[in-house]
Structure 1
Amino acid sequence: MTGASRAVAWAGVVTAPTVAITVLAATGALAAPTGGLPDPGVAVRVGLPAATALRDVAAALTVGLLVTAATVLPGPGSRRRLPALTNLQRRTAVIAAAAASGWAAATVAMLLLTYANLAGTTIGVDTVAALPYFLTDFDLGRALGLSTAGTLLAGFVAATADRPGHLGLAAVLAVAAVLPLAWTGHAGSTVNHATAVDAQMTHLVGVTVWVGGLAAILILRGRLGDALKTSVARFSVLAGWCYALVAAGGIAGAAVRVPSLAAITTTSYGQILLAKAGVLVILGVAGWYHRRRIIRQLGTAPGRRPFARLVMAELLVMGAAIGLGVALARTPPPDAGAAEAIDATTALLGYPMPPPLTATTVFTAWRPDPLWLPLALAAAASYLVAVMRLRRRGIRWSPARTITFLTGCLMMVAATSGSPGVYGQVLFSMHMVQHMTVATAVPTFLVLGAPVTLALRTLPARIDGSRGAREWLLAVLHSRYVRVLSNPVVVIALFLGSLIGFYYTPALEFSLRTHVGHLLMLGHFLLVGYLFANIICGIDPGPPRPHHLFRLILLIVTFGFHAFFAVSLMSGAAMFAESWYTSLDRGWGPSIADDQALGISLVWALGDYPIAILAVALIVSWIADDTRDARRHDRQADRDDDAELQAYNAHLQRLQRPRVPKSSTDLEGLD
């Protein structure tokens, strides 16, 4: 890293807190409070946004360095039998570990300053002593504490990494440590908090990978040599996706918090948001110029200087964007005063109580889920694009697989954005419809679409030892973790144990009261259901599956237990999440007891059609495997003139020949 690059890097780090403090001072947000809690002092009022900006910069560096090392940098070459890290990848991981330490330190400073700001006290011994209380009893403290723990774990894995898989794990942990940051601030307190939290998570992931990855390219460009052009081209594709995530998350978040277009120009929040949008446009133009002009010139030494200058300018602009984001998070949105008029039910649900559930609204109720709807649409679109790629290469892909996969995506949309998503937090019966659809029906259709096989046939392969999407998919498929998770005993334990653990613990109420819990519930049951369906009727490559007869036994035993679980729910007298349902002001529909009885009966009923689909798919797979085995034996017989059958016949003939005595002892035995 040259002296000019180092100076620009430090300038980018300083730019974020400087812009944040300057903007907040200009809007009056740093002024001492005039009422309510006491003034915590200038050090707290100024130090909190500065620490937040430094945390965001360190988080971006950590995530970007790890993602770049795991997916962009060249590997040790394809001739190595054992995967290892190059010196450049190992050096990048060490730098990322150092950045993670700075991230954790800035977050700890944020914890102290945030508590002091909320309590209206200066930083002192009492503030440090109250930190455990803040970490355990406040949502904001728990989120920051969880992020700190994830950061330290990611930094430790990065510092000790000696295999590409370790780099990938560190990158995943770093991205996961970013997500709790979306649960705080305006995203966690707005009325439509589900959309706000999902939009903020999308925005943060895009920003950290994009900004940190670009900084990583600048830091490492002198050591990349001839691989600079290839690495930049790879990162350019990744940056394009990140740009889309940042834009989508920003637009969705603004739509939730800004009530009208007039508020954009008449409020401080809207003006800062407008400035962020302008910065995003500038960065988009710079990215387009990168792809059109700069990347082509990187093959020559003179062409690298314009690239370095443009990247340095981009990083300075990105530092300003991070500062604007910090200022935006500490500026009240235009509709902040409207929160007083919200009723208790709307505050709990995050949206008004839906109308009564009728035979019509079961099919017409619609509330787009901000996370699962885009994911399902993206999965369907990616699948269709891959099928068209195969068709252009003259390879036929089964229409039945396409139909089943798209059906799974459609059912996921219906379960999360249709009436089960609208009424799932209001009625226990609709929660059961959503749960059973996501846990059994959706995974079955997705597995029958063979998405992994399609991805392996269409994703481009790399030959320089680095890992792209295809290489990481193969690495995951052959990892020991997947082998353990694909073990039939483990899958059955997860599938059945999740039901007991979810409905006989506070997990159900946690998923109803918090959006994060709801996301974790859906993600967990979708994954476990996919693992189970993949064992029963999967055709994708991966760990070996048991024999078809054993799969049939597993299917019968599992859904037999499922029926027993439904009976145990019916016979139980306990009410599920009673405090949650009684806190909702629902003036229509059945009573809580009657609705729960209906929901429990649906557990039994909705388990029938998935088992029928799985059973049919298992039988079809069984017959297809037997047919393939027969054809393979026929082809082998044609090649060797049925040598195996001839050898077997000869063996039978030898067994039928009369035994000839070889000695007098044998003759005595015959007598």
Structure 2
Amino acid sequence: MPRSLRVLAPAVLLAATLAALLVGLGIGGGAAERALLDPGAVVRYGMPVARTLVNVSMAGLIGAVVLAVWALANVDPGVSHHGRPAAAASRASGETPAETRVALDLAAASSAVLTVASAATLILTYVDVSGLAFSADEAFGAGLAQFVTEIELGQLWLIELLLAAVTTVLAFAIRGRRSTLLVLVAALLTALPLAQQGHAAGASGHAQAVNSLLVHLVGAAVWLGGLLTLVFIARVVDGRRLAVVTARYSTLALFAFIGVAASGVVSAWLRVGSLDALFGTGYGRLVLIKTAALVVLGVFGAVQRTRLIPRIAASTERAFLWFVLAELAVMGIASGTAGALGRTATPVSFEPLRDQGEGTSPAEWLTGDPLPPELTVGSYLTVWKFDLAWTLVCVFGIALYVAGAIRLARRGDRWPIGRTVAWVLGMLMLFYTTNGALNAYEQYLFSVHMLGHMMLTMLIPLVLVLGAPITLALRATEKRGDGSWGGREWILWMVQTPYSKVITHPAVAAVVFAGSLWVFYFTPIARWAASEHLGHQWMIIHFLIAGYLFNLSMVGVDPVPYRFPYPLRLVTLFATMASHAFFGVTLMTGDGLMLADWYGAMGRTWGATPLEDQSTGGGIAWGIGELPTLALALVVAVQWARSDAKEQKRKDRAADRSGDAELEAYNAMLAEQARRDRRPARR
């Protein structure tokens, strides 16, 4: 690749981004002079520029690390050393392949820029909200310290700065394949504070907006950063290798496009609110510009995937790279427009309800959302509270599973239809639990919260485990031979790690499964999960994983290092059932209200009293919660019977092959023993 393109690519991206940002600020009025407490032109323009650099550098960081983990070789592809395979040669030399080294260098540089840009944005944000001019005196420093320790916006920017700094150190220091996962986790965490800033805490729809923006940020980062990484690694690989890496990136970009498009629609609708505002306000016009850029990028992606990738291997990568350059320019326009949107007033106000003075109900003050209508039987089908992140998890989960089953069928392999039905059913139940009435009412009614908890920890994991997703993935995913790790290689590594052997051990899984109930509800964790968005998402993930690992150790088909014998499995099941029953009885008979400052302070005028509702929740944990455990015990019994039947058939086949030699030898041994017993009697 010409050196000019390597220099021109980031220059075009930054130029298009800054140009679109300035135009967008003019259209939306985001940099207009204020009538009161104007911070000055430096802050009015410098703050959106710094924030846009945060977004672009975060994209370079996440995109480069994702490609390094998923698409690039950690051993030199196709290279051998003294007749040894490439993997052995790379281990012997201790060197990181050039393509991965370039990607990780880009990640480290992007993370360093992210750190500097975050620090600049933090200071400019403080100057903007405080109305104080920047200075080096003690008063300014004291105010800044108070801003980052007591004000949520300042705390989030401080967290972003610290995460970026830690990620920079990791990106410079780490080059190993497995340890790069640590860099990836740290890189993804840098998107979380930015997502939480996109919507005021305590405002209506905060949870949905945060998850939607998080999907948008991560998807755009993988898309933009991955494309920029292709330009940089093109100088160290040939056309054939570039075609392989680009094809893998294209798959990631397709998922990213779906996530960015879906989250963009949700975020725009939450902030615009009506068609009149879409066409009649500066914010709405910027949304239209960004939408047009997204459509153009979708066309770029389709052309890249269907026409250009095959041409790269034919030594025409120069045309491909110029095509990528044009795509980066459009991405810069989208990024700059997004930066302008962040500084433009939204048609729909997102002022926290608790700050609106009189007329705010207790439920609105606590949750940020108005109290839903009275819960009826029909409400379980008619009331919804959608969450884009979990919707995409379910959609992608079903799509990937079905694609794997279809791939096996085309190859001539059989995959049981029952497993497919079980997986799809489990994903649909997860979708309903995280988007339906259970999600809409769980903040206000403890009984509904407990019903959702039982779904997440007992029923949904059981059905998902019966789908055997790991086995399907291992059978449907192709093995790579170019030194990189794809789905098959990462899955095999995950199931063989010492950590996996510990958490999948039946005893450990049972303790976590049964003990999580007590630890969660009788510690401050429950209050954190009820009031904080991050805590609620942690609760969903934790109980899903805990339930999945327990069911996997009991009835799973997927490979695990060790499982209890069938009799001990039943003993374990009944022990966990007793623990759940005791927990439910404790709630039912208790005379104290759990989370009284939450469930007892909602101000509901309908339904049972908070204490009666808590008792109902205990009954759900005891009664309804035990039904999946009984179903699990039934599955264990059926598997036990089938195992005995298979063992008996194995013995019958062995007897048929040997002509009952084992039985005849056994009878001969008994006859000989009888003869020895008769000899002393005759004497």
Establish whether TM, by shorter chain, passes 0.5: yes
**Aligned twin of 2:56:** 57
**Structure 2 CA distance for aligned equivalents of residues 189 and 265 of structure 1:** 28
Aligned counterpart in structure 2 of residue 622 of structure 1, from 636, 640, 643: 640
For 2:446, the aligned partner's letter is F
CA contact (8 A) 1:194 1:350 kept: no
Counterparts in 2 of 1:145 and 1:498: CA distance versus 1, 3 Å: farther
Partner of 1:662: none
- Worse overlay, 426-435 or 580-589: 580-589
Residue 165 of structure 1 is matched in structure 2 by 178
Partner of 2:375: 357
Q: Where does structure 2 lack aligned partners over 5 or more consecutive residues?
A: 79-84, 678-682
Q: Distance in 2 between matches of 1:54 and 1:228?
A: 28
Task: Determine the structure 1 residue equivalent to 2:82.
Answer: none
CA distance in 1, matches of 2:344, 2:257: 24
**In structure 1, the residue corresponding to 2:593 is in which secondary structure?**
coil
Question: TM-score, normalised on structure 1?
Answer: 0.90
Q: Could you say what secondary structure the match of 2:178 adopts? A: helix
Asked whether the 8 Å contact 1:376–1:413 carries over to 2, the reply is yes
Deviations 1:575-617 (A, max 9, x none): 2222223442322111222212221222211222011111011
Distance of 2:591 and 2:537 partners within structure 1: 28
Using the TM superposition, give the Cα deviation of residue 214 of structure 1 relative to its aligned residue in structure 2, in angstroms: 0.3
CA contact (8 A) 1:190 1:257 kept: no
- Partners of 1:169 and 1:624 in 2: how far apart? 43
- For residues 184-583 of structure 1, what are the structure 2 equivalents within 5 Å? 184-186=197-199, 191-225=204-238, 226-301=240-315, 303-336=316-349, 343-344=360-361, 345-346=363-364, 348-583=366-601
Task: Check the 8 A contact 1:440/1:610 in 2, yes or no.
Answer: yes
Question: Which residue of the partner structure matches residue 29 of structure 1?
Answer: 30
The CA deviation string for residues 296-339 of structure 1, in whole angstroms up to 9 with x for no partner, is 221233x1111111111221221222121111011111112887
Per-residue displacement from partner, 1:428-478 (whole Å, max 9, x unpaired)? 111111111111111111111212212222223322231222222222222
Deviation at 1:122, TM superposition (A): 2.7
Do the aligned partners of residues 636 and 52 (structure 1) sit closer, same or farther apart at CA in structure 2, a change above 3 Å counting? farther
Tell me by how many angstroms 1:420 deviates. Answer: 1.7
Aligned length: 661
* CA distance in 2: counterparts of 1:565 and 1:21, whole angstroms: 59
Q: Residue 540 of structure 1 aligns to which amino acid in structure 2?
A: D
Q: Residue 329 and residue 420 in structure 1: after superposition, are their counterparts in 2 closer, same or farther (change >3 A)?
A: same
Per-residue CA deviations over 1:181-239 (Å, capped at 9, x if unaligned) read 11113475752223222221111111000100000000110111130111112211221
Query: 1:570, 1:597 within 8 Å by CA — same for their partners in 2?
Result: yes
Give me the CA root mean square deviation. Answer: 3.1
SS at 2:480's partner residue? Answer: coil
Cα pair distance change 1:122/1:497, threshold 3 Å: farther
Q: Distance in 2 between matches of 1:219 and 1:464?
A: 20
Alpha-carbon distance in structure 2 between the residues aligned to 1:640 and 1:482: 42
Please give the alpha-carbon distance, in whole angstroms, between the structure 1 residues aligned to 2:114 and 2:629. 48
Q: Tell me how far apart the structure 2 counterparts of residues 624 and 75 of structure 1 sit (CA, whole Å).
A: 44
Show structure 1 runs of 5+ residues with no match.
660-670
Task: Determine which structure has greater relative contact order: mean sequence separation of CA pairs < 8 Å that are 6+ residues apart, divided by chain length.
Answer: 2
Separation in 1, partners of 2:588, 2:579: 14
1:15 Cα deviation after fit = 4.0
- Closer, same or farther: CA 298–189 of 1 in aligned 2, 3 Å: farther
State whether residues 588 and 614 of structure 2, in contact with CA within 8 Å, keep that contact through their aligned partners in structure 1: no
Cα distance in structure 2, aligned partners of 1:439 and 1:230: 40
Judged with a 3 Å threshold, the aligned counterparts in structure 2 of structure 1 residues 601 and 654 are, in CA distance, closer, same or farther, namely same
Question: Match of 2:566, as an amino acid?
Answer: H
Give the whole-Å Cα distance in 1 for the aligned partners of 2:155 and 2:662: 68
Kindly state the Cα deviation for residue 291 of structure 1 after the two structures are TM-superposed.
2.2
Kindly tell me: are residues 151 and 417 of structure 1, through their superposed partners in 2, closer, same or farther at Cα, counting changes over 3 Å? Answer: same
CA distance in 2, matches of 1:201, 1:477: 29
Structure 1 residue 93 corresponds to structure 2 residue 111: no
Once the two structures are superposed, residues 241-263 of structure 1 have per-residue CA deviations (whole angstroms, 9 ceiling, x without a partner) of 21111111101111211111121
**Structure 1 SS opposite 2:235:** helix
Q: How far apart, in 2, do the equivalents of 1:167 and 1:262 lie?
A: 48
Which residue of 2 is the match for residue 114 of structure 1?
A: 125
The alignment status of 1:176 with 2:189, answered yes or no, reads: yes
Secondary structure of 1:618's partner? Answer: helix
State the partner residue of 1:16. 17
The answer on whether the counterparts of 2:33 and 2:40 sit within 8 Å (CA) in structure 1 is: yes
CA–CA distance in 1 between the matches of 2:213 and 2:435? Answer: 19
The residue that corresponds to 1:70 in the other structure is 69
Amino acid at match of 1:604: W
Which SS does the other structure have where 1:367 is aligned? coil
Letter in 2 for 1:214: L
Q: Offset of 1:549 from its aligned partner?
A: 2.4
> For the structure 1 residues 570 and 124, does the alpha-carbon distance in structure 2 shift closer, same or farther, using more than 3 Å as the test?
farther
- Structure 1 stretch 461-470 or stretch 521-530: which is displaced more? 461-470
How many Å separate the matches in 1 of 2:102 and 2:646?
Answer: 50
Given residue 68 of structure 2, which amino acid in structure 1 is its aligned partner?
Answer: A
Please state whether the residue corresponding to 1:165 is helix, strand or coil.
Answer: coil
Distance verdict in 2 for CA 1:471–1:509, change over 3 Å: same
TM normalised by structure 2 equals 0.89
- Could you report, residue by residue, the CA deviation over 1:484-512 in whole angstroms, capped at 9, with x for unpaired residues? 22123432332233222321223222222
Structure 1 letter corresponding to 2:125: T
Task: Tell me, yes or no, if the aligned pair for 2:9 and 2:231 is still in contact at 8 Å.
Answer: no
The 1:32–1:583 alpha-carbon spacing in structure 2 relative to 1, beyond 3 Å, is: farther
Cα distance in 2 for partners of 1:648, 1:224 equals 68
Q: Secondary structure at the match of 2:598?
A: helix
Aligned match of 1:606: 624
Deviations 1:501-558 (A, max 9, x none): 3212232222222333222211111111111111111111232222222222221222
Q: Deviations along 1:31-80, whole A, 9 cap, x unmatched?
A: 34323xx3434333322212111111111111111111111224535946
Q: Deviations over 1:92-134 (max 9, x none)?
A: 2233123222212222222222222222223334444445543
Q: CA deviation at 1:6?
A: 1.2
Does the 8 A contact of 1:187 with 1:196 survive in 2?
no
Query: Aligned partners of 2:599 and 2:301: how far apart in 1?
Result: 50
Partner AA of 2:47 in structure 1: L
Match of 1:667 in 2: none
Q: Could you tell me the percent identity over the aligned residues?
A: 36
Per the TM alignment, residue 156 of structure 1 is displaced from its structure 2 partner at its CA by 3.9
Q: Aligned letter for 1:272?
A: L
Q: Which amino acid aligns with 1:288?
A: A
2: distance between equivalents of 1:643 and 1:331? Answer: 87
Offset of residue 379 of structure 1? 2.3
How far is the alpha carbon of 1:274 from its aligned partner? 0.9
